[in-house]
Chains A and B, each alone.
Chain A
Amino acid sequence: MEDDLLICRCEEVTRSEVEEAIRMGLRTVNEIKRFTRAGFGLCQGKTCGRLICDILIREADMAPSEVLPGTSRPPVRPIPTRVLANRVSKEDE
């Protein structure tokens, strides 16, 4: 398969970049994310996360149950910072 195949569309990370990271010894989705930025974009890895797990399973010869998804943190959806900053506190009547 071609080397410049996009894996993470948001951050434009290719398959060969992910494989290179694995050759350098990275073995988790979180490590690959920090090193290549795959999964750091707008969709927060919702599309590429599973593709990266599959590449790890194949290239690093890992069992699917050894490959955890990336850490989930708030916000789980892309939300403008101004919305988070505009925190309204309503009291129950």
Chain B
Amino acid sequence: MRYFKILCTIMIVTIFFWSLKASAGISGSKHDFHSASWNTNGEICQPCHTPHNASTVEKPLWNHQLSTQSFTVYTSTTTDATIGAPSASSKLCLSCHDGVTAIDNFGGRTDGVITMGSVGTGSGNLGTALTNDHPVSFAYDAALFAADAGLKDPASAGISPLLKSGKVECSSCHDVHNTANRSHLLVVSNASSALCLTCHNK
């Protein structure tokens, strides 16, 4: 019985340290703009959120100008998903990542000039042609699973937490607040393509 207790203790301690390793947060991440020249207040949350007078349309407490761009969505002869215009939280991401909407247009400001396109932030600038980007804002449901043998059952344990209202959104793969401190703010490490293979049955 003593042996049993020691074993359990070792494992609990190991899991504890493992979980510590995985926590990081937005501070210091690529989404931490507190020292950016255009963020005059020097706050971390403000470019996206505000506690008061937030957007009446978008949640959560949205503080950034929304993209007015129309996006060209991904198409492929082998996709079975119905891909609509970016919606829900993906639309919020694109309010910077469209490369057109000024990133300093927040808190009611609309005369900002700094865009992701203008500061050359590389692969983070998706542009308005999303044809070369993984589709978002599509329902990943039983019907899609049935139609595409290359996908896993969305009801399976690893997938359902990633979906937002049953849809794949930017946030299915990306953790905007960097709680896990992974490259590209990924929700799951993509070592061995584990993130891709969460959904793709390849």
A binds B: no
